[in-house]
Amino acid sequence: MKISYREALREALRDALASDPRVFLMGEDVGRYGGSYAVSKGLLEAFGPERVRDTPLSELGFVGAGVGAALGGMRPIVEVMTVNFSLLAMDQIVNGAAALRHMSGGQLHVPLVIRMATGAGRQLAAQHSHSFEGWYAHVPGLRVLAPATIADARGMLEPALACPDPVILFEHVRLYNLEGELGDDPSAWRCDIRSAAMRRAGDAVTIIAYGGGLLRALEAADQLAGEGIEAEVIDLRVLRPLDTPTLLGSVRKTHRAVVVDEGWKSGSLSAEIVARLMEGAFYDLDAPVGRVCSEEVPMPYALPLEEAALPQPGKIVAAVRTLLGKT
């Protein structure tokens, strides 16, 4: 069955609402409008306004309501229109949801799922286009997911709702229109929310990516294969907790690594990954770990500048060639 990333997310939401009366969806324009990216289109008509709730324009308020509902035994799914707007709710997420189980000695749980669009590539400028996944991956008490495939878009919500801790689900804006085949058998899309995934096998270099960066990493791997360089591509998909053993296992095989991260290089998730590779596989590396990140500027609006600011397949290929001494 051919399905888009957007439709896969919608089917996951539909299943969750149909299978558990405690589940409800809330956020700006999720109901009558069908969601800013049309993910929740048709769900209001199917489940009604008690289960699909439009909220006022206040991330601090409705994310806080989601935290309270989760503490009260519900299973809320809160949609934040874009990751930039989630900064308005950072106090509720970091000081509230992430900390309450630990502060209560395990007496309280916050089984909350927060969905948000992230990343650039659609000319939405600096207040709608950044990648703050690394900020949230820094916080103990949160589980942070970045589905980059249609199967993961379909399969990650169910285990996220079953998690006793708050889960942040990042949906990259460039992926919503992605289409592909997805089998009807649930085994085609069921997944855990603990493990990274190898998307392409290789022996010359490991390319580590997540979210919107995965497609560009795979495109770069295709280009490199044309040059006789077989790259292994690892999709992080779970940003907290990181699946360090999978990363180390790949690097011990290829002896080289490039990390692709749409966040800024300074203080980034890519820096944490490089540190873990150096700590766990230093003597297996034949070259320093490379990084391909966004340029250190607020994301531009103009398309040529936006494209120039982002990690592109050509930049990834160039980084691999440098590691292999082929520049």
Positions marked catalytic? 59, 128
Task: Give the bridge partners for 169, in sequence order.
Answer: 115, 145
Rounded distance, CA 28 to CA 36, Å?
8
Report strand pairing: 113-118 vs 75-80: parallel
CA-to-CA dists, residue 20 to 13, 24, 70, 134, angstroms? 11, 9, 14, 31
Diameter over CA atoms, the chain: 60
The 3-class secondary structure across 34-71, one letter per residue, is: CCCCCCCCCHHHHHCCCCEEECCCCHHHHHHHHHHHHH
Angle between helices 313-323 and 213-225 (to 10 degrees): 50
Query: Of 118, 54, 61, which is closest to residue 88 (Cα–Cα)?
Result: 61
Give the DSSP letter string of 60-112: HHHHHHHHHHHHTT-EEEEEES-HHHHGGGHIIIIIIITTHHHHTTTS-----
Query: Of 289, 230, 281, 237, which is closest to residue 258 (Cα–Cα)?
Result: 289
Q: Residue 172 — left, alpha, or beta (φ > 0 → left; ψ -120 to 50 → alpha)?
A: beta
Is residue 146 a contact partner of residue 237, using CB atoms and an 8 Å limit?
Answer: yes
Asked whether the CA dihedral 118, 61, 42, 193 is positive or negative, the reply is positive
Residues written for the chain = 327
